[in-house]
Amino acid sequence: MDFALHNAWLIPLFPFAGFSVIILTGKKNLGVKAAVIALTMLGCSAVLSVLCALATFGAHPHNPEHFEPYVHNMFWARLAQSPLEIGYQIDTLTCVMLLVVTLIGWLIHLYSVGYMEKDPRFTRFFAYLQLFCCAMLMLVLANNYLVLYAGWEGVGLCSYLLIGFWFEKPSAAKAAKKAFLVTRTGDCGLALGIFLLFAKTKTIMFQGIFAAAQAGAHGHGEQVHQLPFSFATLKALLHSPYLVTQPQTDHFVFTLAALLIFFGAVGKSAQFPLHVWLPDAMEGPTPVSALIHAATMVAAGVYLVARSYPLFTTGGHEIGVALQVVAWIGAITAFMAATIAVAQNDIKRVLAYSTISQLGFMMLGLGCLGFTAGVFHLMTHAVFKALLFLGSGSVIHGMEHGHHAGHPGADHEAAHGEPFDPQDMRQMGGLAKYMPVTCWTYWAGMLALSGIPPLAGFWSKDEILADAFAQNKGVWFLGAAAAFLTAFYMGRQMFMVFHGELRAKDCHPHESPWTMIWPLRILAVGAIGLGLLGTPWANVFHHYVHYGEHRLPANYVVMLLSIVIAAAGILLARNLYGVTPLKAGQEDPLEAKLGPLWAFLQNKWYFDELYDFLIIQPLLRLTRCCYRFDQKAVDGTVNFVGLFGIVVSRISAFLDKWVVDGIVNLIGIVTRASGNLLKLTQNGLAQTYMLVVFAGAMVVVVIRMMSG
């Protein structure tokens, strides 16, 4: 097992090697060979990750508190007189993330073989998937913020490439740019937080920073007056930057750094107010959606907060400013996204807003000192959300092929807005009899997400709500409301898609190929049984993955409330959509009941319009003003100076040619003419010379006579 830990650096290297081989031989159109290479490389990473997990969890099976992270450092350079060591570290949190990324990523790779088989850029797709997994694995294994940031930016780049994979579609290209720009906004916060930590601790290593944070929280072993976290302290720091290094600013600096790091997580994990990019990311292929929502990009933000947890808990086991912000942002996001999901008709957009909401639950748990609950929900959610996204891809695949079979001349990739949309739930219905495996596996994912016991989502979500109930009743209330809405919109989706009668005309859907079905079956088993690791009686997960928080006793009142809330949401959905299934062209029954509120929810609380009005349009107007200023003022001035120079040069050329050169030439002409005239007197005839002498003498005589 030590072999696995010592060679864990190979885990991200395997998919990078797969990316390199595929991309360098891409012109040969490897076809299915590209998929084989990708599956093999990520499979090697998965095997090594499992071995690392076994070594880590087996180190102290009965006393995990004695576990020390395995850290492997290699000196690389010197940064501001501090040694910069590049390496990796493996602890229980790392192992959980490694298993999530590699195992779920491998299943998504297998699923993609069937889903993307007819795509002309099949080879490139698998190259991008490999690079995506490589960046996420590098982020997870990092032992310092520099390597983490490199992986963080790599994940952002790969998401841009994969969301815009079908770049010939304007909507996909726009969604890719939107995702890149919005997440980059959060990345600025992360970068500032890292700079601030380096200025304070003179290191970027996790262990050094966290040790300084915990020591600073207790005054370095001595009583030091700590400046409060306030705008006055921030103003003092801005006026006197040297205060950053002083002990009295420890609490403020580490709290501010935690908030800046959390802002980076807000962007990457699509939390309010930077959540607007994730629903548009559905423009990419469905396997990309599954990978982003389950195993890689959005999980990175939650992982960042969990990895940086010592910065958020500098006040010990009390909820400080940073954790309060995390909890409230998570609760608001969970509730807001759940309300929007209720009114969506696109099968993937419902799941997208569901992801935003569930990420809010994870942040809510972390903000309420529920480190174990937040990480456990991250793991269980990755399983059943991958199942749901791949299941939705199976549905879309079946609808597309079914429509193509019923309309041989129709375009295989029907665009949104046309009469047939393979992602519109209003055109589905009755798919259970056409796609039975997809249906029952989707039921497993739906019940897990809704929080129905004993499926995985119930145990992780209930633990989060229990932590929130113990710490902050307001946060718990928003979480409970979001849990009810989650059960409702998933029930609504289930009844609209799989029950009733098919509403699309001349469509003959069928079950997906085995490469798409088997990942669904495997993930369904995980969605059903994985939650048993976190039951309040055994809680194996808490035994290994925790941050020193005291394990709360089982709160059966909260547990019962969670069950009632989830059941009520599903029953309400059944009454509206199951008892009397929708007919083709029929108005949504919830739309009739909600009235104007339906439009508000369907338009996503008008966040896109608000940002367009407050940010995008003012920026566009500013850029247009800058363009006009550049064209008229800057370029105008430059062009005027250039024109003035041309005029002056032409005048100078005229004066030089006709005045300066003219005078010189005139003197030359006069001299030459005089010379020619004088030359006439030098003809060698004596009589001519005598005539000239005589004429000269006569001139002298005349002059004397006139003067005398």
**536 in the same domain as 661:** no
**616 in the same domain as 593:** no
**511 in the same domain as 478:** yes
Question: Which among 492, 504, 346 has a CA at the least distance from the CA of 428?
Answer: 504
- Per mean pLDDT, which of 16-20, 81-85, 169-173 is the most reliable? 16-20
496 contacts 576 by C-beta, under 8 angstroms: no
Number of H helices, E strands in the chain: 31, 2
The Cα–Cα gap between 295 and 383 comes to: 8
User: Does 238 score more than 70 pLDDT?
Assistant: no
Q: Please report, as a single letter, which amino acid is at residue 343.
A: A
Q: What is the pLDDT of residue 86?
A: 83
Residue 661 structural domain? 608-681
3-state secondary structure 65-78: HHCCCEEEEEEEEE
323 contacts 367 by C-beta, under 8 angstroms: yes
pLDDT single digits (tens) 462-483: 999 999 998 889 999 999 999 9
The Cα–Cα gap between 318 and 316 comes to: 5
For residue 323, what pLDDT band results from cuts at 50, 70 and 90?
A: very high
User: What mean pLDDT comes out for the span 296-321?
Assistant: 84
Kindly list the distances between the CA atom of residue 40 and the CA atoms of 121, 152, 289, 613, 644, in Å, as whole numbers in the listed order.
20, 24, 22, 48, 69
The Cα–Cα gap between 183 and 71 comes to: 30
Question: Which among 27, 254, 250, 44 has a CA at the least distance from the CA of 133?
Answer: 44
pLDDT single digits (tens) 207-233: 888 888 877 655 544 445 566 666 666
**629 in the same domain as 580:** no
Burial of 543 (0-12, 13-18, 19+ CB in 10 A): middle
User: Does 177 score more than 50 pLDDT?
Assistant: yes
**646 in the same domain as 572:** no
256 contacts 189 by C-beta, under 8 angstroms: no
Phi and psi at 88, nearest 5°, equal -145, 160
User: What mean pLDDT comes out for the span 632-643?
Assistant: 88
The Cα–Cα gap between 95 and 379 comes to: 11
DSSP 228-281: PSSHHHHHHHHH-GGGGGSGGGHHHHHHHHHHHHHHHHHHHTT-TTS-THHHHG
Instruction: Establish if 5 belongs to a structural domain.
Output: no
The Cα–Cα gap between 591 and 596 comes to: 8
**541 in the same domain as 513:** yes
Instruction: Establish if 168 belongs to a structural domain.
Output: no
Q: What is the pLDDT of residue 415?
A: 41
Return the structure tokens found at 504: 């699309």
Kindly list the distances between the CA atom of residue 136 and the CA atoms of 14, 37, 179, 298, 375, in Å, as whole numbers in the listed order.
13, 19, 17, 11, 16
User: Does 407 score more than 60 pLDDT?
Assistant: no
Instruction: Establish if 657 belongs to a structural domain.
Output: yes
User: Does 530 score more than 60 pLDDT?
Assistant: yes
Count of Cβ atoms closer than 10 Å to residue 498 Cβ: 23
For residue 317, what pLDDT band results from cuts at 50, 70 and 90?
A: low
User: What mean pLDDT comes out for the span 162-190?
Assistant: 92
Burial of 565 (0-12, 13-18, 19+ CB in 10 A): buried
pLDDT single digits (tens) 61-119: 666 566 778 888 876 667 666 677 788 999 999 999 999 999 999 999 999 998 888 88
Give me the percent of the chain exceeding a pLDDT of 90. Answer: 48
Last residue of a domain, one of 566, 597, 628: 597
155 contacts 132 by C-beta, under 8 angstroms: yes
Q: What is the pLDDT of residue 15?
A: 95
For residue 411, what pLDDT band results from cuts at 50, 70 and 90?
A: very low
Give me the percent of the chain exceeding a pLDDT of 70. Answer: 88
Instruction: Establish if 347 belongs to a structural domain.
Output: yes
**514 in the same domain as 629:** no
Last residue of a domain, one of 570, 597, 624: 597
For residue 417, what pLDDT band results from cuts at 50, 70 and 90?
A: very low
Last residue of a domain, one of 545, 572, 597: 597
- Residue partners of 188: CB distance under 8 A and separation at least 6: 264
For residue 551, what pLDDT band results from cuts at 50, 70 and 90?
A: low
User: Does 322 score more than 60 pLDDT?
Assistant: yes
**475 in the same domain as 572:** yes
Q: What is the mean pLDDT of the chain?
A: 86
pLDDT single digits (tens) 576-624: 998 888 887 788 889 888 888 999 999 999 999 999 999 889 999 999 9
Q: What is the pLDDT of residue 413?
A: 40
Omega within 30 of 0 (cis) for the link into 273: yes
pLDDT single digits (tens) 260-283: 999 999 999 999 999 999 999 888
Residue 115, classed as helix, strand or coil, is helix
**623 in the same domain as 591:** no
Q: What is the pLDDT of residue 223?
A: 47
Residue 86, classed as helix, strand or coil, is strand
**639 in the same domain as 492:** no
For residue 145, what pLDDT band results from cuts at 50, 70 and 90?
A: very high
- pTM, two decimals, is 0.86
Instruction: Establish if 217 belongs to a structural domain.
Output: no
